[in-house]
Copies of this chain bind each other. A is one copy, B any other.
Amino acid sequence: MSYSVKEVAEMFRISPHTVRYYTDQELIPGVARDHNGRRMFDDAALGWLRTIIAFRSAGMSIDMIRHYLDLYNQGEETIPARYQLLVKQQQLTRQKLDDLTQQLEVINEKVQSYDGWIHLAGSTQNKNSGSDC
């Protein structure tokens, strides 16, 4: 059995545009066309798409995914290289997480400063000495 762009898009809850984009980027091996040029996805293609979506949601770039596919196609001797690639992505994601944690603190402070400002309006207290916007 094979599936159309729309079916696949609904299956994975992504837009048909994105599905076409991934095939155009050659991220999904084995997507055939019917006699009208329409994309046909088989189960193997669905498996790859699932992986690609997982990788993307893990923050991996399209380029990195392409690289991973290249390695995969070169056989088992690239397993260590693929492992390295994943570890690298792991580090990148951890870094992002740390950054975002700090960012949340910055904004938390801002909000708190407004909290104080609003609830103590008219009071003489004013911790920030002027330059805080």
A residues contacting B by CB (< 8 A) are 47-48, 51, 54, 57-60, 72, 79-80, 82-83, 86-87, 89-90, 93-94, 96-97, 99-104, 106-108, 110-111, 114-115, 117-118, 131, 133
Contacts and interface: CB of A to CB of B under 8 A. Distances in A.
Query: How many chain copies does the complex carry?
Result: 2
A80 B119 CA distance: 11
B117 A58 contact: no
A104 B59 CA distance: 9
A109 B7 CA distance: 28
B107 A103 contact: no
A73 to B, nearest CB: 11
B86 A93 contact: no
